[in-house]
Amino acid sequence: MLENLRERATALRLNGLLAHWPEVATADWLAPLLQWEEAERSRRSLERRLASAHIGRFKPLADFDWAWPTRCDRASVEALMALEFLAEAANVVLVGPNGVGKSTLARNIAHQALIQGHTVRFTTAGDLLGELAALDSDTALRRRLRHYASPDLLVIDEIGYLSYSNRHADLLFELVSRRYEAKSTLVTTNKPFAQWAEVFPNAACVVSLVDRLVHHAEVVVIKGESYRLKEAKEHSEQRGRQRRKGAP
């Protein structure tokens, strides 16, 4: 027991406490003190990682309407929430049309990874590639590529909503290659891979890019109508009913 307490104090780098260890080792307050310090450091660490991850607001998985998509493998998604793919440095690809919940699922997986102590970065393809392409020096580009290559989980949302130049394609390929078989990358896309040539027209690296993404990857296909459109229609109908009730 005392040895365990000493190891915890050493891990926390409480050097002042360790210097007086013979005096405090059997004190009743020592174990609660270490527990408080561990809990506070865990809380601060989570806050820092949440702030740097840029996940944003999202609907929790408990509120996800699994009955709405015409196709969505719930078991696969729940298995992803167990985060075993991170230990394997495997990738995840969520494929489906607009509004079926790809980003919501991606944010939930990213948030779960943060809670479990992993480093995470969430970005859209437009923001990521726009930022990288705007850098005007090789040094700045290499530094920023290292920044995106370092998290345990990198989420790139909304690939396929815009088309990109050959330079954008090369930058994405460079980033995916740096993370390949070393770190996990999760992407959401509204385009099947056969149509990625439309997203990166004339880019020579598209086949290699897709190959690195899908190798050791869990691909989850989601089909259905837009849930956002469904909610918009419901809200519109609700406002219409309220107006009719209030009419003289």
Does any domain span residue 137? yes
Same-domain check for residues 76 and 37:
no
The distance between the two most distant Cα atoms of the chain, rounded to a whole number of Å, is 83
Q: How far is CA 10 from the centre of its chain?
A: 32
Cα–Cα dist 174/141, whole Å = 11
Does any domain span residue 166? yes
* Across 225-235, average pLDDT: 74
What are 70-99's pLDDT values in tens digits?
999 999 999 999 999 999 999 999 999 999
- DSSP conformation class of 56: -
Does any domain span residue 46? yes
* 187 bridge partner residues: 93, 156
H/E element, 50: helix 30-53
Query: Which residues make Cβ contacts (< 8 Å) with residue 161, sequence separation at least 6?
Result: 98, 125, 126, 190
Task: With 0.85 as the threshold, say if the pTM is over it.
Answer: no
Confidence of residue 106 (pLDDT cuts 50, 70, 90): very high
Does any domain span residue 26? yes
Q: How far is CA 30 from the centre of its chain?
A: 38
Same-domain check for residues 198 and 80:
yes
Same-domain check for residues 108 and 212:
yes
Confidence of residue 236 (pLDDT cuts 50, 70, 90): low
Cα–Cα dist 170/129, whole Å = 10
Does any domain span residue 35? yes
Domain that holds residue 102: 61-229
Confidence of residue 248 (pLDDT cuts 50, 70, 90): low
The number of folded domains in the chain is 2
Q: The domain spanning residue 185 has which CATH number?
A: 3.40.50.300
What are 157-177's pLDDT values in tens digits?
999 999 999 999 999 999 999
* Across 97-121, average pLDDT: 95
* Across 180-208, average pLDDT: 95
Confidence of residue 240 (pLDDT cuts 50, 70, 90): low
> Comparing 36-45, 142-151, 211-220, which segment has the lowest mean pLDDT?
36-45
What are 43-56's pLDDT values in tens digits?
787 778 787 789 99
Q: Which residue has the tokens 């059997």?
A: 26
